[in-house]
Chains A and B, each alone.
Chain A
Amino acid sequence: MQEILTSFMPNLIDKWYEFLQAIVDTIIMELWAGGIGFVLGFTFGIILTVTREGGICENKPVFKILDAVTNLFRSIPFIILLTALMPLSRAIMGTAINIQGAIVPLVFGSVPFFTRQVQSALAQVQPGLVEAAESMGLSNFEIITRVYLRESAGQLARATTITAISLLGLTAMAGVVGAGGLGDFAIRYGHDRNMKDITWATVVILVIAVSLLQLVGDTIAKKSTH
């Protein structure tokens, strides 16, 4: 068994521990950046929804500023964010390199995208539902939780899945700041040293990860749609 594996994927077996470390690094980045991004994206998406014209707490300045900032960060390529945010990263995380150094750019890279996803999910809630809830005397907070979030749960699950998958793509670039992870592993060995088995193994792992995310997302989305 051991022999067969070794002959099939000599480099992967050789770098087995580094490979496992890369998987763990990717998971850590995905969870931290995803977790923080999830909270921020939800918050901004909700704020944009309620402050827009005709929203339940209409507020032009807040909407305009948040809208502009979201657009700004959405248009900056991630590879530029990674280096441009190094000073901020250092200020917040104490370092601009390694996994800690990657979290801030990953959050900045994924939050604007997720914010738009959340905003568009919430926009699909029929205005009539909000109006009905208002007529029943619900507070704005209750309308957000009991109408907006609840009625768009399926769409929100889909938005979260898409963002998580695209975040996984972003983590592959985090090697630029020395954060490691699967993408970095594949480039350093698979590409730079032409170790094909390592490239393939990485791709397989990523495909499995994406499929799992998609499966979980679809299941939740389905469960919350009637």
Chain B
Amino acid sequence: MIELRNIVKTFKDDKEKEVEALKNVSITIGDSEIYGIIGFSGAGKSTLVRCINLLEKPTSGEVKIDGVDLLKLSHKELRSERKKIGMIFQHFNLMPSRTVFGNVAFPLKKSGLGKKEIQKKVRELLNLVELSDKENAYPSELSGGQKQRVAIARALANDPKILLSDEATSALDPQTTESILKLLKHLNEKLGITIVLITHEMDVIKRICSRIAVMENGKVVEEGDVFDIFANPKHSLTKDFIKTTSNLYKLDEILKDDINGISPADGEVLTRLTYIQKEVSEPLISTVTKKFDVNLNILLADVEIVSGSPVGGTVVKFSGESIKIDEAIQYLRDRHVGVEVIKDARNPY
């Protein structure tokens, strides 16, 4: 378990002015989770993740891994703790002078393993990342995706419990990104390794993360289960990010241009409904229609696959008696359907 408590990190910029990169951030990451950290550039994601292996020393706060307070360790103890935390980077950071084999064997030098054992270990790792045939190639001869696979094999060499990934797919094309994410997911399932993954793409989060933190200006503005957050985002930044991958949240632009008269007419209420199973939408909508004598006009419907499960969503226009609409919305909420009122065009009393 990774526990970051009240982490504050201030940097001095070129003009000796203080920059608060992290403002009292606390997160807890459980074993075998894939924890995503999303935010725009400069939000403090890298700084936060680098606090986990103390590449960055927090100005104040606590960093605990499986109960061990890393800030209390000696240099030597910290180094051996770091061996249990693998890290991969956006630009791979492979040693150009070493072959693929040499790179993967790099962290094993002082592991106490003999030459034969190192060879066996490296081959196993290369097998795991499906690069056995590239053993003698130099990094300059590999594609981006292959480089990242080598970097992953290298990060796993000391059998770490944790893998930190700082924008590991940001320099890759969509297909390669997909294959690297699959590999990470596979490693998580097969080895039980905890993965902390930084990204600025909601798509990445949606694919493999189980929990996420949304960061802005050195703070975590929203945190929780990916599924819940997709179904019911609270912070406007989170919504912005979800918009980038889901049609249901692109509504604002559609509304602005009033495409197809989507804006509610007088007396109508435009809402976004989210539910866990798409199938439930049909019966619920017809039930509500009958029960409260209101009209529900479905404008958009979509399903998102979030961490392996579908999240359904529809954009619906309610029309009918004002009180009945309120009752209908309450009814839906009681049945765990997320109802977000986008635009209420009923006359105020």
Residues of chain A whose beta carbon lies under 8 Å from any beta carbon of chain B: 126, 128-129, 131-132, 134-139, 142, 146-147, 150-151, 153, 224-226
Contact A135 B85 (CB under 8 A): yes
Interface centre among A137, A146, A150, A224 (most CB of B within 10 A): A137
Kindly provide the distance from the CB of B106 to the nearest chain A CB, expressed in whole angstroms: 7
A224 to B96, CA, bound (A): 10
A20 to B272, CA, bound (A): 95
Contact B83 A131 (CB under 8 A): no
A137 to B160, CA, bound (A): 12
Q: Which of A138, A146, A150, A224 meets B79, CB within 8 Å?
A: A138
Given known pairs A137-B79, A139-B79, the reply for A151 and B93 (CB within 8 Å) is no
Kindly provide the distance from the CB of B133 to the nearest chain A CB, expressed in whole angstroms: 18
Contact B93 A132 (CB under 8 A): yes
Contact B138 A137 (CB under 8 A): no
The tally of CB-CB contacts under 8 A between chains A and B is 59
Contact B107 A226 (CB under 8 A): no
Tell me if B175 counts as interface (CB < 8 A to partner A).
Answer: no
Contact A137 B93 (CB under 8 A): no
Contact A151 B55 (CB under 8 A): no
Given known pairs A226-B138, A226-B140, the reply for A129 and B79 (CB within 8 Å) is no
7 contacts between A and B (CB under 8 A): A132-B87, A135-B82, A135-B86, A135-B87, A136-B107, A146-B109, A153-B97
Tell me if B80 counts as interface (CB < 8 A to partner A).
Answer: yes
Q: Which of B82, B95, B164 meets A137, CB within 8 Å?
A: B82
Kindly provide the distance from the CB of A179 to the nearest chain B CB, expressed in whole angstroms: 40
Q: Which residues of B contact A153 (CB under 8 A)?
A: 97
Q: Which residues of A contact B106 (CB under 8 A)?
A: 136, 146
Given known pairs A134-B55, A135-B55, A135-B87, the reply for A129 and B95 (CB within 8 Å) is yes
Please give me the residue from chain A that is nearest to B79 by CB atom: A137
Kindly provide the distance from the CB of B37 to the nearest chain A CB, expressed in whole angstroms: 17
Tell me if B91 counts as interface (CB < 8 A to partner A).
Answer: yes
Kindly provide the distance from the CB of A134 to the nearest chain B CB, expressed in whole angstroms: 6
Tell me if B47 counts as interface (CB < 8 A to partner A).
Answer: no
Contact B97 A126 (CB under 8 A): no
Given known pairs A137-B79, A137-B80, A137-B82, the reply for A128 and B89 (CB within 8 Å) is yes
A147 to B86, CA, bound (A): 18
Q: Which residues of B contact A138 (CB under 8 A)?
A: 79, 107
Tell me if B274 counts as interface (CB < 8 A to partner A).
Answer: no
A142 to B154, CA, bound (A): 17
A142 to B75, CA, bound (A): 14
Which of chain B's residues 85-117 have a Cβ closer than 8 Å to chain A?
Answer: 85-87, 89, 91, 93, 95-97, 106-107, 109-110
Given known pairs A136-B106, A137-B79, the reply for A224 and B97 (CB within 8 Å) is yes
Q: Which residues of B contact A136 (CB under 8 A)?
A: 82-83, 87, 106-107, 154, 158
Given known pairs A226-B138, A226-B140, the reply for A132 and B89 (CB within 8 Å) is yes
Tell me if B271 counts as interface (CB < 8 A to partner A).
Answer: no
Interface centre among A131, A136, A137, A139 (most CB of B within 10 A): A136
A75 to B154, CA, bound (A): 46
A147 to B93, CA, bound (A): 11
A139 to B81, CA, bound (A): 13
Q: Which residues of B contact A126 (CB under 8 A)?
A: 91, 93
Tell me if B53 counts as interface (CB < 8 A to partner A).
Answer: yes
Please give me the residue from chain B that is nearest to A152 by CB atom: B97
Kindly provide the distance from the CB of B76 to the nearest chain A CB, expressed in whole angstroms: 8
Kindly provide the distance from the CB of B39 to the nearest chain A CB, expressed in whole angstroms: 20
Contact B93 A128 (CB under 8 A): yes
Q: Which residues of A contact B53 (CB under 8 A)?
A: 135
Kindly provide the distance from the CB of A84 to the nearest chain B CB, expressed in whole angstroms: 39
Please give me the residue from chain B that is nearest to A224 by CB atom: B97
Contact B96 A226 (CB under 8 A): yes
Q: Which residues of B contact A225 (CB under 8 A)?
A: 97
Given known pairs A138-B79, A226-B140, the reply for A150 and B97 (CB within 8 Å) is yes
Contact B89 A137 (CB under 8 A): no
Kindly provide the distance from the CB of A116 to the nearest chain B CB, expressed in whole angstroms: 23
Closest 7 CB pairs of A and B: A137-B82, A132-B93, A128-B93, A137-B79, A135-B87, A136-B107, A137-B83
Contact A129 B93 (CB under 8 A): yes
Please give me the residue from chain A that is nearest to B87 by CB atom: A135
A204 to B329, CA, bound (A): 97
Please give me the residue from chain A that is nearest to B141 by CB atom: A226
Given known pairs A128-B89, A128-B91, A134-B55, the reply for A151 and B79 (CB within 8 Å) is no
Contact B82 A226 (CB under 8 A): no
With A132-B87, A135-B85, A136-B107 given, name 11 new contacts (CB 8 A).
Answer: A128-B91, A128-B93, A129-B93, A129-B95, A132-B93, A135-B55, A136-B83, A139-B79, A146-B106, A146-B109, A153-B97
Kindly provide the distance from the CB of A150 to the nearest chain B CB, expressed in whole angstroms: 6
Q: Which residues of B contact A128 (CB under 8 A)?
A: 89, 91, 93
